[in-house]
Amino acid sequence: MNLLIIGKNGQIGLSLIAESEANQIDYSAVGRAELDITQHSAVNAFFAQHHRFDFVINAAAFTNVDAAEKEIDSARAANALAVRYLAEACKQYDIPLIHISTDYIFDGEKNTGYNEEDTPNPKNVYGQTKLEGENHLKAIWKKHIILRVSWVFSEFGKNFVKTIVNLTDKKDVFSVVGDQLGSPTSAHSVANVIIIICKYLFENGEQENYWGVYHYADFPVTNWHQFATHIVRTKKTKKNTTVLCIESKEYPTAAQRPKNSILNLQKIKTVFDIDQRLWTSEVEKIIHKI
């Protein structure tokens, strides 16, 4: 099995590289320097020369949720147009495309977890552009897996765990919102799920009923304040750090966030026999690496 990993410098891309190596899977990994997926001609030229892959995994995205509110064109180029270009290329060379999406395509007004059939209604530009990317892929190329994930963290790049670890070093008291629900998810868990799916499809054949949208998140459900509190406790600093709980209205941001980001995982568990990982255990692993 041979994979093309797009977005090699991001959290999920780096985790995919590690997971591929651990499973002795052949892969090629590219970042923007090797392949700028926002340029149609660059995508076409790349695949004309490199298309002997069993799966293409798109882990590249514009993920700065607040910056996307002002940098709309950049967000749309990376999250929507690039997906269209990749879908067209993968269709031309008959390569299944696995694409990472987000819980932020939902508005958060539902009282229970969102399943794959729920109607998206994004509240911010990031979610809107990610949904546009999903729709491009669905319309162009049937051999696709769209994997929606939530609250991704790792030892790589910028993410909530690293932010809280840094705050703990600098401040004795800080505040975190406690009225947004979701499931923190390790980038390593996401990479593991993607490899499981690739292996399953590779070994069992590309049956049509496998393609489509799936949700994955670690468990259990929590809120940002509880997440931050666990990070602080896990870090075990010598000083006492207090994490205050506030409401979203007390911490205004450029982009609106959904109050409920809970994802229903029944479909991915049933189809691919995926087991959820415990995010608290994943946090412990990550903090030891930071």
CB atoms under 10 Å from CB of 167, counted, come to 17
Catalytic residue among 126, 200, 216, 251: 126
Q: Answer yes or no: 126 catalytic.
A: yes
Q: Helices 279-289 and 187-204 meet at what angle, rounded to 10?
A: 110
Measured CA to CA, the distance from residue 106 to residue 130 in angstroms comes to 11
Contact 38, 49 (CB under 8 A): no
Q: Which residues contact 126 (CB under 8 A, 6 or more apart)?
A: 62, 63, 64, 65, 68, 75, 79, 102, 104, 255
Environment class of 204 (CB within 10 Å of its CB; exposed 0-12, middle 13-18, buried 19+): exposed
Residues assigned a catalytic role: 126
